[in-house]
Amino acid sequence: AQGRLWGGRFAGGPADAMFALSVSTHFDWRLARHDLAGSRAHAKALASAGLLTDDELAAMLAGIDALEADVVSGAYTAAATDEDVHGSLERGLIERVGPELGGRLRAGRSRNDQIATLIRLYLRDELRVVAEGVQLVVVALYEQARTHLGAPMPGRTHLQSAQPVLLSHHLLAHAWPLLRDFGRIQDLDRRLAFSPYGSAALAGTSLGLDPELVAAELGFNGSVPNSIDGTAARDLVAEAAFVLAMIGVDLSRIAEEVILWSTVEFGFVTLDDAWSTGSSIMPQKKNPDVAELARGKAGRLIGNLTGLLATLKGLPLAYNRDLQEDKEPVFDSLDQLRVVLPAMAGMIETLTFHTDRMAELAPRGFSLATDVADWLVRQRVPFAQAHEISGAAVRYCEARGMELTDLTAADLPSIDERLTPEVLSVLSVAGSIASRNARGGTAQAAVEQQLREVNDAIDSI
């Protein structure tokens, strides 16, 4: 049958249910242009090995160009009888250049090295798009941090009031993981940059074809050193699924905070109308759907990664048809992030922060207790005792329904004689924040330094 790449040893075609299981054109068609790029490179390798004349090569390349134009315009699509993108495009080429020439292209290659190469080419291209989406989110965080540089907020651990921090410091704390994700994409690209073309089915090619030539044609840094590994390995696809899942998880942590912050109880942010939704029944509602969908999709991305790892576990070398199952999970993760990243960027860049409310809450929950202890340490009190004394001050305030910032000189002697009125000078959010001025701390100068570093990192994406 047309589009079937085998048949000589078979008396008949596949059963309908067999074909329905086998067919992959509905998801691997997105690799068509990469497949055609591989075919061009392979045709050149055939010519340089003397297996195509110059005229044949020219006719072959013209046929591939014509086919590509039809694929791009949609004039050529997979037929119901095509099993996968590779077989379909061979059929399309044969229809354009005839069976005599078109039938020569498959020499020395297998769908096994073809697909292993195409998925790397495709991932290299797509991960660049993901990197741009990551950049959008980092820029949105950076701009909000810059705008609100000196504004304080309650910093939390265990979601409990901990110490005051700058809102800008907190926002940049979400930028750094995303910048590391970008670094992961760069690292992965270095590993993806080797072409399996020439590995053929598993043992390598016997026709004098040069894998390095094909690799260079396709923009790889070189060809793989082992043809079995080249066709059987999918660790790089799994690594891509991991990086994508990690991005999803990092976005989800931002999303969770935006969801909390936009509640009446927190009241830290208001979402822009364009980046939120209403309720069909409750007229007052403004829901953080972007954040919720991002948080939900993270679960899906994790599922794609774990599903793929489960598929790979225990597969013997070399190619097994199970490997066809690598594509849909990673394609889905890419597709999800393509829509999630710009939406998250839009939501973040249009958030209105209620900095007065955040400033009001920053000293609450005894968040300056550590500053009291640190002040005592500067008076030469051992920290363990300082911790006890500051804790006693908290207990004193809690019993009287007051905050540490409500303490006056008259309160201090009954807490501990080492608390002299000078301690009241450190009981301010601004003082607490300013005192954390070492590299990486929340003092404004340290955050300004961070902003410069984030800006440089953004430019490198």
In a 3-state reduction of DSSP, which class is residue 147? helix
Residues 13-52 that bind ligand ARG (CB under 6 A): 24, 28
Long-range contacts of 62-67 (CB under 8 A, 24+ apart): 62/97, 63/93, 63/96, 63/97, 63/101, 63/102, 64/36, 64/39, 64/40, 64/93, 66/96, 67/36, 67/92, 67/93, 67/96
Q: How far is CA 91 from CA 39, 64, 118, 396, in A?
A: 13, 11, 18, 84
DSSP 8-state assignment for residue 76: S
Distance between CA 419 and CA 417 in Å, rounded?
A: 5
Question: Closest approach of Cβ 245 to ligand ARG, in Å?
Answer: 22
Question: Closest approach of Cβ 117 to ligand ARG, in Å?
Answer: 11
Nearer to ligand ARG, 25 or 168 (CB): 25
Nearer to ligand ARG, 109 or 174 (CB): 109
Nearer to ligand ARG, 111 or 295 (CB): 111
Side chain identity at residue 148, one-letter code = H
Q: Does 323 sit near ligand ARG (CB under 6 A)?
A: yes
Find the part of the chain contacting ligand ARG (CB under 6 A) among 109-117, 249-257, 284-292, 436-444: 109-117
Q: Does 321 sit near ligand ARG (CB under 6 A)?
A: yes
Find the part of the chain contacting ligand ARG (CB under 6 A) among 42-50, 64-72, 321-329, 345-353: 321-329
From 25, 39, 112, 262, residue interacting with ligand ARG (rule: CB under 6 A): 112
Question: Closest approach of Cβ 230 to ligand ARG, in Å?
Answer: 13
Count of residues that interact with ligand ARG, criterion CB under 6 A: 10
Distance between CA 90 and CA 275 in Å, rounded?
A: 46
Q: Does 111 sit near ligand ARG (CB under 6 A)?
A: yes
Nearer to ligand ARG, 28 or 189 (CB): 28
Question: Closest approach of Cβ 319 to ligand ARG, in Å?
Answer: 6
Nearest C-alpha neighbor of 104 from the set 201, 207, 202:
207
Catalytic residues: 158, 279
Nearer to ligand ARG, 119 or 245 (CB): 119
Q: Does 84 sit near ligand ARG (CB under 6 A)?
A: yes
Question: Closest approach of Cβ 119 to ligand ARG, in Å?
Answer: 8
Q: Tell me phi and psi for residue 418, to 5 degrees.
A: -75, -10
Question: Closest approach of Cβ 460 to ligand ARG, in Å?
Answer: 35
Contacts of 116 (CB under 8 A, 6+ apart): 196, 199, 230, 231, 233
Nearest C-alpha neighbor of 124 from the set 240, 208, 33, 223:
240
User: Using only C-alpha atoms, what is the Rg of the chain?
Assistant: 31
From 94, 115, 200, 397, residue interacting with ligand ARG (rule: CB under 6 A): 115
Long-range contacts of 376-380 (CB under 8 A, 24+ apart): 376/418, 376/419, 376/423, 379/418
**Cα three-residue angle 236-237-243, rounded to 5 degrees:** 85
Question: Closest approach of Cβ 87 to ligand ARG, in Å?
Answer: 9
Distance between CA 248 and CA 245 in Å, rounded?
A: 5
Q: Roughly what angle, to the nearest 10 degrees, separates helices 327-349 and 289-312?
A: 160
Nearer to ligand ARG, 111 or 124 (CB): 111
From 324, 405, 428, 449, residue interacting with ligand ARG (rule: CB under 6 A): 324
Residues 248-307 that bind ligand ARG (CB under 6 A): none
Distance between CA 3 and CA 177 in Å, rounded?
A: 46
Nearer to ligand ARG, 18 or 58 (CB): 18
CA-CA-CA-CA torsion sign (287, 291, 297, 299): negative
Find the part of the chain contacting ligand ARG (CB under 6 A) among 111-119, 238-246, 273-281, 384-392: 111-119
Q: List interacting residues with ligand ARG (CB under 6 A).
A: 24, 28, 84, 111-112, 115, 319, 321, 323-324
